[in-house]
């Protein structure tokens, strides 16, 4: 299964008015706020069966869908 597609579906459920596939400054441009960020973390934890720890909650890990996928893979250790 295409993991990116799963990720984009998860993100679209949280905010359906954002072009997650193409945005590269989600945090830096203020497109996602603190509440959305928390929702994303919880959703990623559930969808990919991982646990994102405080140390990983850094802007660069959430600025784009690609960065989030990278984070998911790192959390899984692959």
Partner 1 sequence: MRNVLDWLEAAAEGAPEAAAFESPQKLLTWAETRSLARRIGSRIARQVPGQSPVMILMDKGPDCVAAMLGAVYAGCFYTPVDAAMPQARMRMIAQVLQPKLIVCQDQFLQTAASLTDGASVCLFSQMEEAVNEQLLAARRAEHIDTDLMYVLFTSGSTGVPKGVSICHRSVIDFVEWACQALELPKKVRFGSQAPFYFDNSVLDIYCAMKMAGSLYIIPHSDFMFPRRLMQTLTSRHIDTIFWVPSALSALANAQVLSQGCLPELRRVFFCGEVMPCRTLNLWRNALPQADYVNMYGPTEITDVCAWYRVDRDFADFDSLPIGKPCANTRILLIDGEICVAGTCLARGYYNAPEKTAAVFVQNPLRPQISETIYKTGDLGEVNERGELMFLGRRDSQIKRSGYRIELGEIECALNAVEGVALACCWYETEAGRIVAAYTGGVEPKIVRTGLKGALPGYMLPDRILHREELPRTLSGKIDRMALRREVENEHSIL
**Residues forming the site for partner 1 (CB under 8 A):** 27-28, 30, 33-35, 37-39, 41-42, 54, 57-59
CB of 1 to partner 1, least distance (A): 26
Nearer Cβ to partner 1 (59/76):
59
Count of other CB atoms within 10 angstroms of residue 41: 18
Can you tell me the distance from the alpha carbon of 28 to that of 38, in angstroms, rounded to the nearest whole number?
A: 16
Count of other CB atoms within 10 angstroms of residue 64: 18
Nearer Cβ to partner 1 (52/75):
52
Nearer Cβ to partner 1 (4/67):
67
């Amino acid at each position: 299964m295409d993991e990116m597609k799963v990720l984009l579906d998860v993100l679209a459920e949280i905010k359906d008015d954002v072009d997650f596939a193409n945005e590269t400054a989600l945090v830096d441009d203020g497109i996602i706020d603190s509440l959305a960020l928390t929702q994303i973390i919880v959703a990623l934890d559930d969808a990919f069966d991982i646990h994102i720890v405080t140390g990983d909650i850094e802007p660069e890990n959430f600025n784009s869908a690609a960065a989030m996928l990278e984070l998911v893979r790192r959390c899984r250790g692959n």
